[in-house]
Amino acid sequence: MDKEQRATTARLAITAILAGTAAACPMPAPAHILLYLAAYAVIGADIIYKALRNIPRGRIFDENFLMAAATCGAIALGEYPEAVAVMALYQLGEMLSDIAVGRSRASISALMEIRPDTAVIEVPRGSTRQMPPTDVPIGSMAIVSPGEKIPLDGTIISGTTDIDASALTGESQPYAAAPGDKVLGGCINLTGAIRIKTTAQYADTTAAKILEMVENAETGKAHTEKAVTRLARRYTPIVVAAAVLLAVLPPLAGAGSWEQWLHRALVFLVISCPCALVISVPLAFFAGIGGAARKGILFKGSTHIETMAKARAVAFDKTGTLTYGRFSVTAIHPETVSEEQLLELAALAESRSVHPVALSLRAAYSGTQGQDAVSDLHEHPGEGIEATIGGKHIYAGNERLMARAGVVPRQCSCTGTIIHISVDGTYMGHIAVADTPKPQSAQAIGRLREKGIHTVMLTGDKDSVAAAVAAATGIKEYHAGLMPDQKARFVAALAQQPATTPVAFVGDGINDAPVLKTADAGIAMGAAGSAAAIAAADIVLLNDDPLQVDTAIDTARKTMRIVRQNIILALAVKSALLAAGACGIAGMWAAVFADVGVTLAAVLNSLRAMRTAC
Ligand code: ADP
Ligand code: MG
């Protein structure tokens, strides 16, 4: 409980004593009224103040106004106990939902405890200094003791350890790390002392990007969320107008006393308070986003929850998404040079690329790379690399790139992705690299199919490789040889057809940015470590598991179910009570109990969204 909540509790207690005394002790009428008015002032003064304060600001018809109008009306009618009770119950309900919201926020931010507090940095003369991670320049040496949080993204220079990345990726198993391995800020260093060389400033670390994303998640509001706010804004004036009519018309028509109808109109006002929706719908989205974040699924806003809940098609990129994206060289077929020379050419050309193919070629080449000789590097997305090395013009990539280079590549019967290499217009040979499908891919495709969601694989790789991966993962439809813009057009076409819209695209974020943007929901996979993918996508899956796509859909559907339940519950109870109130069946007490009850039920229901379906 915070200070404000404690103060409300104290005021509720005082009100209870004052009103209780008034109700229980026999006393002259004026003393009686004074006690009730004092009780009312203690519990209701701030609501009246807020209602009055909001009028010049143009926010006339908010819940404060409804409560103030209803209770002041009750006092005018001489129904003092009702006025006090309505205010007290309203305040109690507000406080309880405040506590619930506060709890959920606290538990989400606790789970997002990835913000490093301090970094221990080596300074000259062999000593160390503690400083805030935000002040640490790139390339600093940081010492991380066992049990400490890694302050910034970096590479291990010395020491071996186990690393717990669960707060970042949702992966519960720690993994072993040794010199040369990359580590992410925000992970916990479990067992050994390590020295790391930082590779990013704080603002560019994965942890900072994730926090930024979670903190901004509220700006990408879902249609439902916006609709509720709009509804509340329009609906309250309508309700007030209806209440005025209810108070005036029947007595004018001679259907009862003014007092009787004024009382009914006030009850009507209390019932119509839209708090249940205004509080619970945003909370459900917030809880859904928070629950998903715990599992390493980051929704950039509630609008993406809405889209994912309705997704009818999911298009997958192949490399790095359905497959590991860790290629290994399986064959080297040079024309005139030696195998080692061909590999050197390829490794040099790929020296700056982050494409999985490039990483594998560099890893296979054991010689030292004279990077200084490389100039004019250009990556053709979906094709390969064009580079000038030591004055020679080199192309390394697929058949499309060879067409661009104007050379005719030799056909190869090897399985796997073939990287052809040409130098100054002469074909030099090719290198075959192969990748393996992730074991979870087939399961993920199977689960999506069970949900009736259409799945398709889009790849820039050649047909034979695509066919093998499609067979291994059980994906029925695939399209090979696509350039990134063709993938985008394909996804746009899916988004046009009623049977496959909305469409989600899942990619690894390397050269997929246009497709991620085109899809109704762009999902970047395995993005822990890639700030660029976090920027391009709507949804980020922090670990490499394709099953997360299915979990994201389950979470989104569950959240939307809760939102719908809350809307139906609130509208049903409210409309039944409105009718009852208008007919004079439900009194002020019933009205306020129903309002507080529905709000609390909806808030508690919303919190369920934090527990993701899995
Ligand atoms: P995917 O759709 O499977 O993710 P990409 O669109 O990234 O594949 O690339 C398609 C094809 O383009 C690759 O299979 C490869 O033949 C070629 N390619 C792309 N980038 C490179 C590179 N850096 N080096 C060599 N070949 C590349
Ligand atoms: Mg790719």
pLDDT tens sequence across 496-508:
999 999 999 998 8
Is the CB of 360 inside a 6 Å radius of any atom of ligand 1? Answer: no
pLDDT at residue 319, as a whole number: 87
Kindly indicate the confidence band of residue 614, based on its pLDDT and cuts at 50, 70 and 90. Answer: very low
| Range in 305-314, 357-366, 402-411, 559-568 with the lowest mean pLDDT | 357-366
Which residue out of 321, 351, 383 has the highest number of ligand 1 atoms within 8 Å of its CB and is therefore the one to mutate? 383
Identify which of 439, 414, 416 has the alpha carbon closest to the alpha carbon of residue 324: 439
pLDDT at residue 274, as a whole number: 74
pLDDT of residue 22 exceeding 70, the answer is: yes
pLDDT at residue 506, as a whole number: 94
pLDDT of residue 65 exceeding 90, the answer is: no
Q: Which atom of ligand 1 is nearest to the CA of 462?
A: 14
Is the CB of 386 inside a 6 Å radius of any atom of ligand 1? Answer: no
The 3-state DSSP class for residue 233 equals helix
Identify which of 606, 609, 553 has the alpha carbon closest to the alpha carbon of residue 288: 609
Task: Please give the distance, rounded to the nearest whole angstrom, from the Cα atom of residue 508 to the centre of ligand 2.
Answer: 6
pLDDT tens-digit map of 204-250: 887 787 777 766 665 667 777 777 777 777 777 888 888 899 899 99
pLDDT at residue 112, as a whole number: 62
Task: Please give the distance, rounded to the nearest whole angstrom, from the Cα atom of residue 457 to the centre of ligand 1.
Answer: 15
pLDDT tens-digit map of 372-407: 577 788 989 889 999 998 889 999 999 999 999 999
Give the separation between CA 44 and CA 605, rounded to whole angstroms. Answer: 28
Identify which of 305, 169, 191, 281 has the alpha carbon closest to the alpha carbon of residue 230: 281
pLDDT of residue 265 exceeding 90, the answer is: no
More confident residue, 481 or 125: 481
Mean pLDDT of the chain: 87
Which residue out of 436, 461, 462, 512 has the highest number of ligand 1 atoms within 8 Å of its CB and is therefore the one to mutate? 461
Query: What percent of the chain lies above the pLDDT cut of 90?
Result: 43
pLDDT tens-digit map of 100-130: 777 766 656 655 667 788 899 998 888 889 9
Is the CB of 461 inside a 6 Å radius of any atom of ligand 1? Answer: yes
Is the CB of 397 inside a 6 Å radius of any atom of ligand 1? Answer: yes
User: How far from each other are the two terminal CA atoms of the chain, in whole angstroms?
Assistant: 32
Task: Please give the distance, rounded to the nearest whole angstrom, from the Cα atom of residue 482 to the centre of ligand 1.
Answer: 10
pLDDT at residue 107, as a whole number: 59
**Which residue in the list 153, 317, 508, 545 is annotated as catalytic?**
317
Query: What percent of the chain lies above the pLDDT cut of 70?
Result: 94
> Is residue 543 within 8 Å of residue 528, measured between CB atoms?
yes
Instruction: Report how far apart, in Å, the C-alpha atoms of 585 and of each of 24, 244, 442, 588 are.
Output: 27, 19, 60, 10
More confident residue, 531 or 222: 222
Is 317 part of the annotated catalytic residue set?
yes
> Is residue 328 within 8 Å of residue 434, measured between CB atoms?
yes
pLDDT at residue 612, as a whole number: 61
